[in-house]
């Protein structure tokens, strides 16, 4: 039975390689934070002020002045969050590519340190699959932390702050609904006992040797056919 590895242990393997590119790695969070704040928090507030200015019973000159001011603010905020998002995307691409290259080299170094007996007792295809999964898991974890937790967390915090400031009752209702949703999701996640990675390893480990065995038997049958044909020809020559 496979031993379950804690998330802290997994991070202990990734963290030394992350520190080699810590500036661009943490720049990802800064860039996406600025982009989310501008696009999901400040921009809707500007739209609200534009709608309030149009629906307000003021003079045409005052309304025009407010609208021009809000449109300028909207352009500045749009330019700001687009630049911040591009910074976050560039930093993520740069850091992930370099860290994954370091992890590939680390995996090769660890595999090269084993003895010949280790490779004879373990299927080479399974080792390659596990090495690739180890490297790809960093990309999955990094994307999940940034896009699922970091971006969503900033958006939720900003939304709740504005809701509690403008409409406390609606903010309380949505906060209660989010708490219920998170609790239900955690309950269903704990009930799911399937381990896709372990199942995938067993699947590829069983499928690949079978494919190689079929190739081996095919080559062996071809060799037998050629041998029989050669013996038949030699027999004909002897009879001649």
Q: What is the CATH number of the domain that holds 58?
A: 1.20.1560.10
pLDDT at 102: 92
The 10s digit of each residue's pLDDT in 19-53 is 999 999 999 999 999 999 999 899 999 998 888 88
Q: Which domain holds residue 137?
A: 8-193
Question: 179-189: per-residue pLDDT in tens?
Answer: 898 899 888 87
User: Domain for residue 137, yes or no?
Assistant: yes
Q: Does any domain span residue 2?
A: no
Residue in the block written with tokens 């049958």: 221
Distance (Å, rounded) from C-alpha 128 to C-alpha 123?
9
Hey, what are 203's tokens? 């699947």
How large is the angle between the packed helices 151-166 and 168-191, nearest 10 degrees?
150
Q: Quick check: is 165 in a domain?
A: yes
Q: Which candidate, 11, 47, 29, places its Cα nearest to that of 147?
A: 29
Domain assignment present for residue 12? The answer is yes
Going residue by residue through the chain (240 aa), what tens digit of pLDDT does each one get? Answer: 456 777 788 888 899 999 999 999 999 999 999 999 999 899 999 998 888 888 876 677 778 888 899 999 999 999 999 999 999 999 999 999 999 999 988 888 877 776 666 666 666 666 777 888 888 989 999 999 999 999 999 998 998 888 888 888 988 998 899 889 889 988 887 776 545 555 555 555 555 444 444 454 455 555 565 556 555 555 544 444
Taking only the tens place, the pLDDT of each residue in 215-240 is 544 555 555 655 565 555 555 444 44
Contact 34, 155 (CB under 8 A): no
Q: Is residue 211 part of a domain?
A: no
Rounded Cα distance, 72 and 122, in Å? 65
Give me the number of domains the chain comprises.
1
């Amino acid at each position: 039975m496979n031993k379950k590895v804690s998330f802290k242990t997994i991070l202990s393997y990734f963290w030394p390689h992350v520190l080699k590119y810590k500036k661009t790695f943490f720049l990802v969070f800064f860039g996406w934070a600025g982009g989310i704040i501008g696009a999901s928090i400040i921009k809707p507030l500007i739209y609200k002020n534009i709608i309030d200015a149009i629906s307000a019973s003021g003079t045409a000159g005052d309304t025009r002045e407010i609208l021009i001011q809000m449109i300028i603010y909207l352009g500045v905020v749009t330019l700001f969050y687009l630049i911040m998002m591009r910074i976050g995307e560039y930093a993520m691409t740069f850091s992930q590519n370099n860290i994954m290259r370091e992890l590939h080299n680390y995996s090769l170094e660890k595999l090269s340190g084993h003895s010949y007996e280790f490779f004879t007792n373990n299927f080479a295809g399974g080792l390659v699959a596990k090495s690739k999964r180890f490297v790809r898991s960093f990309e999955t974890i990094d994307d999940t932390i940034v896009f699922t937790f970091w971006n969503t967390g900033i958006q939720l915090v900003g939304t709740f702050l504005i809701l509690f400031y403008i409409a406390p009752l609606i903010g309380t209702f949505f906060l209660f609904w989010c708490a219920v949703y998170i609790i239900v999701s955690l309950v269903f996640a704990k009930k799911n006992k399937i381990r896709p990675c372990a199942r995938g390893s067993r699947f590829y480990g069983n499928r690949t040797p079978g494919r190689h065995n079929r190739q081996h038997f095919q080559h062996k049958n071809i060799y037998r056919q050629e041998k029989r044909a050669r013996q038949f020809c030699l027999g004909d020559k002897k009879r001649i």
